[in-house]
């Protein structure tokens, strides 16, 4: 099938090319940097792609040693142990926060999405307000409270404050999802002998797993990508997550290639999740759940 070349088609493909470049190039550049030796990065004119690609920036982050372009051994990455510890902390926190969030947020999202009750509008407003609360304003009282209760620099402390981000987000997303299910589900479940709670727990929840999976993925991403709380409440401690560890590397020494490699590692889990769920994210309304 060949289509006629019309001005509109030319324009469409030009715009598509532009959108592609705009979306991909910044990340491409980071990837390209992460595959270069520093000597190549500093060459003028700048190479737009690595001539001799190397994975040494990645292997050295995980404790390996590597030979540089001149045949000499490259220096160890001083922050490598911190980066590895940060990855582990980020994973532990993201998983525990997501589990806790689901337990608390799913029932209320079900109520908001499917039941008419007094205070529903007020509840929704409270959820939106908590969602728009500036994190930097949240962290000021937390910093003071944590400094007096010993929660500073602990995984527990970070899990607690991350709930302020994930719960409103998940309630928002799942309210939208639950309200999109057919209205007759509960009535049918009740005729089959289920109580109200069983109708929710045994019928609605299992049929909602696609929505729950997306909500869990989003909650995981929010924790994985969070920087400010961890930087302010746990920087330099054993509970420090990946992003503050990365920031130390970013500011202390000039190691742009190793830094680019570490950033690519940070981007991989979210990119995979976004790819897996992009169709659902598109159909799921993240903006307007009512």
Partner 1 sequence: MIATSPTTQPTPPAVAQPRRWSTSRLGDGQFATLLTLPVIVVLGLVVAYPTLYSLWMSFQRIDLIFGTTEAVGFANYRQALTSPEVWHSVRVTLLYTALVTIFAVAIAVGGALLLNERFRGRGFLMALVILPWAVSLYATAVVWKYIYSPEWGLLNAVLQQRLGLSDGPILFLSERGAVPALAVAHAWQIAPLGMYFVLATLQVIPEDLYKAAKVDRLGAFGRFRHVVLPYIKTPLSIVMVLITVEAARVFDIIFFMTNGGPGDASTTLTWDIYRQSFVNRNLGYGAAVAWILVVLTTIITTVYFLLLFRNREKRPDKAAVGEAT
Part in contact with partner 1 (CB under 8 A); list of ranges 51-59, 65-73, 126-134, 149-157: 126-134
CB of 92 to partner 1, least distance (A): 18
CB of 215 to partner 1, least distance (A): 14
Cβ within 8 Å of residue 281, ≥6 positions away:
214, 274
Part in contact with partner 1 (CB under 8 A); list of ranges 55-63, 72-80, 111-119, 150-158: 111-119
CB of 144 to partner 1, least distance (A): 6
Q: Among residues 190, 202, 205, 213, which is the contact residue for partner 1, using CB under 8 A?
A: 190
Q: Among residues 92, 108, 205, 213, which is the contact residue for partner 1, using CB under 8 A?
A: 108
Q: What's the CA gap between 277 and 281, in Å, rounded?
A: 6
Indicate whether 26 belongs to the interface with partner 1 (CB under 8 A).
yes
- b/e sequence 98-137, b meaning 16+ C-beta within 10 Å: bebbbeebbbbbbbbbbeeeeeeeebbeebeebeeeeeee
Indicate whether 209 belongs to the interface with partner 1 (CB under 8 A).
no
Cβ within 8 Å of residue 214, ≥6 positions away:
173, 277, 280, 281, 284
Backbone angles phi, psi at 67, to 5 degrees: -95, 130
CB of 283 to partner 1, least distance (A): 7
Indicate whether 22 belongs to the interface with partner 1 (CB under 8 A).
yes
């Amino acid at each position: 099938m060949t289509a006629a070349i019309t001005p509109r088609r030319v324009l469409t493909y030009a715009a598509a090319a532009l959108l592609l470049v705009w979306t991909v190039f910044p990340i491409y550049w980071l990837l390209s940097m992460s595959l270069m030796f520093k000597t190549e990065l500093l060459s003028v004119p700048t190479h737009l792609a690595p001539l001799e690609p190397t994975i040494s920036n990645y292997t050295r982050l995980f404790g390996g040693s590597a030979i540089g372009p001149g045949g000499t051994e490259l220096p160890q990455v001083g922050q490598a142990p911190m980066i590895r510890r940060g990855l582990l902390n980020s994973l532990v926190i993201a998983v525990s926060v997501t589990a806790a969030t689901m337990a608390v947020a799913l029932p209320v999202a079900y109520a908001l999405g499917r039941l008419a009750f007094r205070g529903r509008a007020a509840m929704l407003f409270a959820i939106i307000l908590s969602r728009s609360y500036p994190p930097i304003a949240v962290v000021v009282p937390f910093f003071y409270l944590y400094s007096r209760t010993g929660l500073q620099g602990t995984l527990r402390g970070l899990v607690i404050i991350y709930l302020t981000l994930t719960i409103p987000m998940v309630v928002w997303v799942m309210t939208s999802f639950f309200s999109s299910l057919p209205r007759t589900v509960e009535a049918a479940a009740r005729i089959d002998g289920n109580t109200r709670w069983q109708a929710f727990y045994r019928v609605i929840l299992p049929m909602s797993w696609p929505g729950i999976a997306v909500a869990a993925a989003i909650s995981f991403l929010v924790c994985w990508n969070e920087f400010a709380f961890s930087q302010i409440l746990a920087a330099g401690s054993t509970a420090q997550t990946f992003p503050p560890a990365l920031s130390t590397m970013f500011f202390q020494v000039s190691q742009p290639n190793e830094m680019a490699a570490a950033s690519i590692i940070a981007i991989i889990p979210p990119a995979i999740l976004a790819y897996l769920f992009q169709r659902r994210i598109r159909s799921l309304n993240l903006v307007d759940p009512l």
